[in-house]
Structure 1
Amino acid sequence: MARRDLKNLTRFWSGRDSPGLSLMHADFQTQQFAPHRHEELVIAITEIGGSVIQSRGVVDNADTSALLVFNPSEPHAGWMGASCHWRYRSLYLEQSALDDLSHALGTDRIPYFTRNWIADPELASNLHALHRALDGEHDPLLQRELMVTSFGALFRRHGSGGLRVEPVPRDRVRVERAIEYIRARLAMPISLADLSDTLDLTQFQVIRLFKRTIGMTPHAYVLQLRLDAARRYLATGSPIGDAAVAAGFYDQSSLTHHFKRSYGLTPLQFARATRA
Structure 2
Amino acid sequence: MSGRAEVRAWRPGLTGVVEVLHAHFPSHAYPSHTHDAWTVLIVDEGAVRYDLDRHEHGLAQAQVSLLPPHVPHDGRSVLPEGFRKRVLYLAPDRLGEDLIGAAVDQPEYVDPLLRHRIHQLHRVLGDGREDLEAQSRLLLIEERLRQHLKREVTSPPDRRDAGVAARLRDLLDEHVRDGITLDDAAKVVHAHPAHLVRAFSREYGMPPHRYLTGRRVDLARRYLLDGRPAAEVAALAGFYDQSHLNRHFRKMLGVTPKSFAAPRP
User: Counterpart of 1:3?
Assistant: none
Change (3 A) 1:256 1:95: same
Question: How does 1:110-259 map onto structure 2 within 5 Å?
Answer: 110=99, 112-113=102-103, 114-156=105-147, 158-162=148-152, 171-259=161-249
Opposite residue 117 of structure 1, the aligned amino acid is E
User: Counterpart of 2:70?
Assistant: 73
TM-score, length of structure 1 as denominator length: 0.83
Change (3 A) 1:82 1:184: closer
Deviation at 1:19, TM superposition (A): 5.7
CA contact (8 A) 1:168 1:209 kept: no
Whether 1:63 and 2:33 are equivalent positions in the alignment is: no
Deviation at 1:163, TM superposition (A): 8.1
246, 255, 261: which one pairs with 1:265?
255
In 1, Cα distance between the equivalents of 2:194 and 2:88? Answer: 20
Change (3 A) 1:264 1:24: same
In 2, Cα distance between the equivalents of 1:149 and 1:215? Answer: 17
Which stretches in structure 1 are left out of the alignment for 5+ residues? 1-5, 103-107
User: Counterpart of 2:9?
Assistant: 12
**CA RMSD after TM alignment:** 2.9
In 1, Cα distance between the equivalents of 2:31 and 2:242? Answer: 47
Deviation at 1:238, TM superposition (A): 2.3
Opposite residue 46 of structure 2, the aligned amino acid is G
- Aligned pairs, number: 261
Which whole-Å deviations, capped at 9, do the CAs of 1:145-165 have from their partners, x for residues lacking one?
A: 111112112222x1125489x
Deviation at 1:32, TM superposition (A): 1.0
Change (3 A) 1:56 1:267: same
Opposite residue 94 of structure 1, the aligned amino acid is A
**Identity across matched positions, percent:** 27
Opposite residue 233 of structure 2, the aligned amino acid is A
In 2, Cα distance between the equivalents of 1:30 and 1:231? Answer: 52
TM-score, length of structure 2 as denominator length: 0.86
Please identify runs of 4+ aligned residues in structure 1 that moved more than 6 A.
166-170
CA contact (8 A) 1:152 1:163 kept: no
In 1, Cα distance between the equivalents of 2:159 and 2:60? Answer: 42
Which whole-Å deviations, capped at 9, do the CAs of 1:213-264 have from their partners, x for residues lacking one?
A: 1111111111111112212222332221222222211221111011122232
Which stretches in structure 2 are left out of the alignment for 5+ residues? none
